[in-house]
Amino acid sequence: MIHVFNINDFYCALDTNSGLVHVIDEIVYDLLKDDSFKSESKVKIISHKYGQDITKEAIQEINSLINNNMLYTEDLDVENKIKPAVKAMCLNMAHDCNLKCEYCFASQGNFKGKRSLMSYEVGKKAFDYLVKSSGKRVNLEVDFFGGEPLMNFDTIKNLVEYGRSLEEKHNKKFRFTITTNGVLLDDDKIDYINENMSNVVLSIDGRKDVNDRMRKTVNDKGSYDTIINNFKKFVSKRGDKDYFARGTYTSYNLDFAEDVKHLNEIGFDIISVEPVVAKPEEKYALKDEHIEILKKEYEKLAKYYIDSYPDKNKRFQFYHFNIELDGGPCIYKRSIGCGAGTEYVAVTPEGDFYPCHQFVGEKEFIIGNVDEGITNEEVVSKFRNVSVNEKPTCRQCWAKYYCSGGCHANAYNFNKDFKVPYKVGCELEKKRIECSIMIKAKLQ
C-alpha cells in the first residue's frame, strides 16, 4: 500500500508497510497517483506532458524502489509480540475542578459522580499494583490527572516520594507527569513540579477571547487572566524539560492556527492545540463539514512553522508536527494501539480501575480496583483485540502505523464499536501526518 500526496510545491510517496517516506518530483507524483505508471494510456499522457525520456527515467526509479522492497511493500502479518502488562496509570487525583470548561469530557471535573479526592492509601495501593503488574518492564508511567490535580497536591507529593522509594528495590523507573489548568500554580508548586515531573501539560486554549469562551471560572468569568502569569512563570523556570501548552479548538475557532501563533508569541515554545471531541448536537462540536477547512488550517500552520524555524527566538514545536521517521517505535508497538485496559489503566479516587480516563464514570467499564487488581476479563478482552489490523477501516488505511488505530473511547462513543474509528479524528490525523512529513523534508 502506498499513499501519494502533495501540499503546495511538496510531493511525497509513503510506503505504508516499510514506513519509508520518499520525496518525489511532480513527474513521479503523476506516475504514482492512481497507479498511473501501470497503465499504458496514462503513461502516454504523462510522457506527452513531461517528455518521453524523462518519464522513462522516472519509471525506472519507481521500479528500482519496488524491486528493493521500498515501495508497494506487501502487507505484514504482524503477530503481537508485546506481552500485555499494565505499566502506565492515569491517577485521577481529584474528581473536582476549580474551572468549569464548557467542553470538559469529565463533566466539569466530577466524571458524573460525587466530588472527591484520591487518598494517599488508594494511590499507594495503585503504585503497588503497577509495580507488580508491570513484570519485567522497567519504565513505569504515572500521570496525575483530574479534574484538577493541584487540588490534591500534598497527596501527589507523598505519592511521588512513595514511587521513588520503590524504584531501586524493584528495578523500576517512574516517570511522573501532570496536567493542570494553572489556577493553583504558585511558586512552591512550580518548583516541585519542575523538579519531579518529566512532562507537564498546561491547559490554555490560545487567544484570550477563545480561551475565555470555553474555559470559565466557577463565577462564569474567563480564566485567561488568572492563569497566564502562572504559566509564564512556570515556563521561565522549566529549563529544557518537557512541557506542553495545550489547547482545544472547537467550531468557534476553526482558525486555530492563530491560537498557536498567539501561544508562541507570548512565550510558549512547545505547543499542542487539538480538536475538541464532542457530541454532534453541541454547538461547539467539529463536524464533517469542518474537515476541509481544518485541513487547510493545518497547512497554514505548517507554513508558519517552517517560516518561524530559521529564527531561534521564533522557533517552536507543535506537538502533532513531530514525527520520528527512523527512531520511532517498532512495528509491534505501532500495531497494538494505545494499550487502554491492557497496558494502561485509569484509577478513580475510590480506587476503581477503568480501561482509560475517557471511560471513567461509565460503570460497566470498571475492570478492577486497587485491592483486587484487574478482575473484569470480559471488558479487558474487548480492548485486547483491537489492533490496527483487526479494524477493517484501519487495515486499509495508509496512516495505520502512525496512529495505530486512534482512540478507542472515541470509536466507542461515536460508533458504539471499538473497531470503527472516529471519522473526523482520522481525517485530521492524516492531514497532520502529511504536514509533519512535509516539515521534516523541508527542514532537513
Partner 1 sequence: MIHIKTLNNKKLTDNISVKGCGECQTSCQSACKTSCTVGNQKCENQ
Backbone torsions φ then ψ of 377, nearest 5 degrees? -65, -30
CA distances from 400 to 73, 111, 385 (A): 14, 31, 16
58 binds partner 1, rule: CB under 8 A: yes
Burial class of residue 55 in the structure, from the number of CB atoms within 10 Å of its CB (0-12 exposed, 13-18 middle, 19+ buried): buried
Cβ 17 to partner 1 shortest distance, Å: 7
Residue whose grid cell is 491547559: 203
Among 51, 267, 280, 328, binds partner 1 (CB under 8 A): 328
Asked if 355 contacts 381 with a C-beta cutoff of 8 angstroms, the reply is: no
Going by C-alpha positions, the residue among 209, 158, 152, 216 that lies closest to residue 184 is: 152
Among 189, 262, 334, 419, binds partner 1 (CB under 8 A): 334
443 binds partner 1, rule: CB under 8 A: no
286 binds partner 1, rule: CB under 8 A: no
Radius of gyration of the CA atoms of the chain, in A: 23
Neighbours of 310 (CB within 10 A): 9
Among 5, 10, 22, 365, binds partner 1 (CB under 8 A): 22
Cβ 26 to partner 1 shortest distance, Å: 9
Cβ 50 to partner 1 shortest distance, Å: 10
Cβ 128 to partner 1 shortest distance, Å: 19
Q: Of the listed pieces 119-127, 224-232, 255-263, 405-413, which binds partner 1 according to CB under 8 A?
A: 405-413
Number of residues that bind partner 1 (CB under 8 A): 85
294 binds partner 1, rule: CB under 8 A: no
Burial class of residue 53 in the structure, from the number of CB atoms within 10 Å of its CB (0-12 exposed, 13-18 middle, 19+ buried): exposed
341 binds partner 1, rule: CB under 8 A: no
Among 209, 325, 371, 417, binds partner 1 (CB under 8 A): 325
66 binds partner 1, rule: CB under 8 A: no
CA distances from 395 to 130, 424, 436 (A): 32, 18, 22
Cβ 431 to partner 1 shortest distance, Å: 13
What cell was used for 162? 512513595
Residue whose grid cell is 478482575: 375
Binders in 82-111 for partner 1, by CB under 8 A: 82-83, 85, 87-88, 90, 105
Among 5, 7, 10, 18, binds partner 1 (CB under 8 A): 18
357 binds partner 1, rule: CB under 8 A: yes
Cβ 205 to partner 1 shortest distance, Å: 12
Close Cβ partners of 231 (under 8 Å, ≥ 6 residues apart): 182, 185, 202, 204, 245, 268
Binders in 134-173 for partner 1, by CB under 8 A: 137-139, 141, 143
Cβ 408 to partner 1 shortest distance, Å: 8
